[in-house]
Each structure stands twice: as C-alpha cells, then as structure tokens.
Amino acid sequence: MIVHIPNVLDQDQLALCREAMERAKWVDGRVTAGHQSAQVKNNLQLPEGGAEHRELGEIVIRALQRCPLFISAVLPHTIFPPLFNCYKVGMGFGAHVDNAVRQTADGAIRIRTDVSATLFISGPDDFDGGELTIEDTYGSHEVKLPAGDLVVYPSDSLHHVTPVTRGARLASFFWIQSLVRDKTRRGLLFELDAAIMQLTRDAPGHPALASLTSTYHNLLRQWVET
C-alpha cells in the first residue's frame, strides 16, 4: 500500500529545514547503506547524531505526531529517527530493498522496518529527475511530490531513485515499525478507518458508526503487537 500524505511540513518548517541543510556538512550517503545497497547508492547525507540531524529530526517527528492520516496509514509503534539526504546532478540510487532491521549509530534504537517513508523538502520545480520509483504487484509507481508531502510504502518493496539531471533533491527518509506487522492487515485497517471517517463527515450520528468503530478496534486488538 502506497499512501501519499500531503502537507506534513508547512512553509515555515520547510524553510527551517532548508536553512539547516545549507549550513550543514554533508557526508557520503553510503554510511547508512547495507552491503547490497552500498553498491548502487550515490547521494549525500547529514551525519547521524549531528546538530542539524537532531534539529530537523525533531521537527519531522513533531509534525508526524500531529498528522492523523500518517497515524491511520502506518499505525506506528516506533519511528526511526529521520535521516536527511541530498541528490545533486548525476546522483541516484539503484534498485534495492531496505534492510529488514535498522539500528541507530549509538545502538539506542533498533526496529523492524515495516514501512518506509520519504518526506520531500525540495519541490518538483527545484530539480529534474530524482523520482522515487516503487515496484509492487501492479507495476512501477513514480513519486515526485510537493515540498512538505510524504509518501509511505511497504519496506519490502523494490524501489530506486532516478538520477537527478538539474538542481538538487532534498528529502527526509526514515522507517517505521508498525503495531501491525502484516501489510495486508494494515491496509484493511486503513481502509476501514477511512470509511469510518467519511461516514462521520457525511452522516454524523449514523447508527452504523458504533458498529464499524467496534469492528475496527476489535480487529486491531487481535492483530496488534506491542
């Protein structure tokens, strides 16, 4: 399930991110790549644990915690501290699957990667190329979103970033361990929650709402891993 989540960051937050990225010292993005990914990864990254990384990570985490669509789609148990990358002209990331387990450099956080996320900090007019391309049962999906928008998708998906041909592509990327490990069950819960929210808007007080909400929570109770 690929979900587009708009307006996670507002214009003020984006400006703070860009200003911090301009003053930061970037390192080779392969520092966080696994063996296979390192063979096809060519980008820059903010050093994990650095001042800018911590500052921007806090901005992103606070924004995610205030985003109902993100919570509904992902059902987060643990969010890996967001990382930040830059693709300049000629840089890209070949086809790969994200590591099943991610651990922070200090070992304080270790998660199972159920959901991957890319939060665009550059807008589509800021660069050419740089599309995130995600493979699933229905084919290839190219993703290039407005600045501040987020895409989430299953971490077992084969995906790549096409080479940038103009400008620079700035983004945050991170992973989530979900309360519901199975992506099919997670998708069913997301669809049910969306139906409940639509019915709440269109027919507030409808007697079916109590039944649907009960079903949602009883399914979550069966499938959740705490």
Other beta carbons within 10 angstroms of residue 46's beta carbon come to 26
Spell out the residues 6+ positions from residue 201 whose beta carbon is closer than 8 angstroms to its own. none
Query: Given this model, what pLDDT does residue 121 score?
Result: 98
Query: Given this model, what pLDDT does residue 34 score?
Result: 66
Phi, psi (degrees; rounded to nearest 5) at 32: -110, 15
Phi, psi (degrees; rounded to nearest 5) at 83: -105, 165
Locate the domains of the chain by residue range. Answer: 3-178, 183-223
Q: Whose structure tokens read 């589509």?
A: 124
- Residue 37 reports pLDDT greater than 80: no
The rounded distance, in Å, linking the Cα atoms of 154 and 180 is: 12
Architecture of the domain delimited by 183-223: Irregular (4.10)
Give the chain's count of helices (H) and strands (E).
Answer: 6, 17
Q: Over range 176-185, report the average pLDDT.
A: 97
103 neighbors 112 (Cβ within 8 angstroms): no
Query: What does the DSSP 8-state code read for residue 89?
Result: B
Q: Which of 16-25, 35-44, 189-198 has the lowest mean pLDDT?
A: 35-44
151 neighbors 142 (Cβ within 8 angstroms): no
DSSP state letters, 8-71: SS-HHHHHHHHHHHHHSPPEEGGGG--HHHHTTEE-EEPPTTSHHHHHHHHHHHHHHHT-HHHH
- Residue 35 reports pLDDT greater than 80: no
pTM: 0.94
Query: Given this model, what pLDDT does residue 33 score?
Result: 67
Phi, psi (degrees; rounded to nearest 5) at 114: -90, -40
Give the Cα-Cα-Cα angle 13, 151, 213 (nearest 5 degrees): 100
Architecture of the domain delimited by 3-178: Sandwich (2.60)
Query: Given this model, what pLDDT does residue 30 score?
Result: 82
